[in-house]
Amino acid sequence: MILSAEIKETLYTAVLSDVLDELGHPNRALRPFVRPLDESLVLLGKARTGLYTNTYSVIDGENPYELEIQLIDDLKPGEVPVLGCDGPTDRLAPWGELLTTAALARGAVGCVTDGLVRDVRMIRDLGFPVFHGGIGPLDSRGRGKMVEIDRPVDCGGVRVRSGDILFGDVDGVVAVPQDVAEEAFRLAFVKATAENHTRDELREGSLLADVYAKYGVL
């Protein structure tokens, strides 16, 4: 599907979550501890998944960043790395300013992780949407490494597959399954329009019960 600027400008996570409920895909919002690094930014893109595991040492001659580098270098325009770290965690920070810079150069449009993020000031200066499970300075080296790419991952309590659509704003992140994305976004536009009409009539003094009966949204 085409991920247009109109989606970012018009829709929001709450309306997408509601329509996914209606389509039989409940609980597609990542857990509330996954928060935006910059609340003013909106994220919209296709997932590229990476799974991390905890480690406690580095073997001589090992490159613990090997798969991480492979994923970032393979990103395509419009994609979003989704890094599952079995968060919340207090020791694994898979994302920082250098990966942000590399991802931007490939055309990526954001990052979502339930792990930690560091280099916060520099990432904010780059205007790159990052949704994270916490902030901390620890390097992932010797604490965790990516073990799988483009396999289903659990991130923030939601199963995400490469190709799913990620939408994030100040309220959190919703992962829209690829096979229902077209219908979900179509219905979200319909619902957003109905909510706008509801808001307008409530401002004019209409009773909530009457407006709900008319538009069916709340």
pTM: 0.90
pLDDT band at 214 (very low <50, low <70, confident <90, very high): confident
The structural domain count of the chain equals 1
Cα distance between residue 134 and residue 91, in whole Å: 10
Is residue 194 assigned to a domain?
no
Is residue 168 assigned to a domain?
yes
pLDDT (tens digit, 9 = 90+) per residue, 108-149? 999 999 999 999 999 999 999 999 999 999 999 999 999 999
Is residue 215 assigned to a domain?
no
Is residue 197 assigned to a domain?
no
Is residue 59 assigned to a domain?
yes
Is the per-residue pLDDT at 30 higher than 70?
Answer: yes
Read off the CATH number of the domain in which 144 is found: 3.50.30.40
Q: Range of 85's domain?
A: 29-176
Length of the chain: 218
pLDDT band at 206 (very low <50, low <70, confident <90, very high): confident
Q: Which of 132, 141, 123 is nearest to 84 (CA)?
A: 132
Is residue 212 assigned to a domain?
no
Cα distance between residue 174 and residue 171, in whole Å: 9
Is residue 69 assigned to a domain?
yes
Q: Which of 55-59, 115-119, 161-165, 166-170 has the lowest mean pLDDT?
A: 55-59
Q: What percent of the chain has pLDDT over 70?
A: 96
pLDDT band at 198 (very low <50, low <70, confident <90, very high): confident
Is residue 196 assigned to a domain?
no
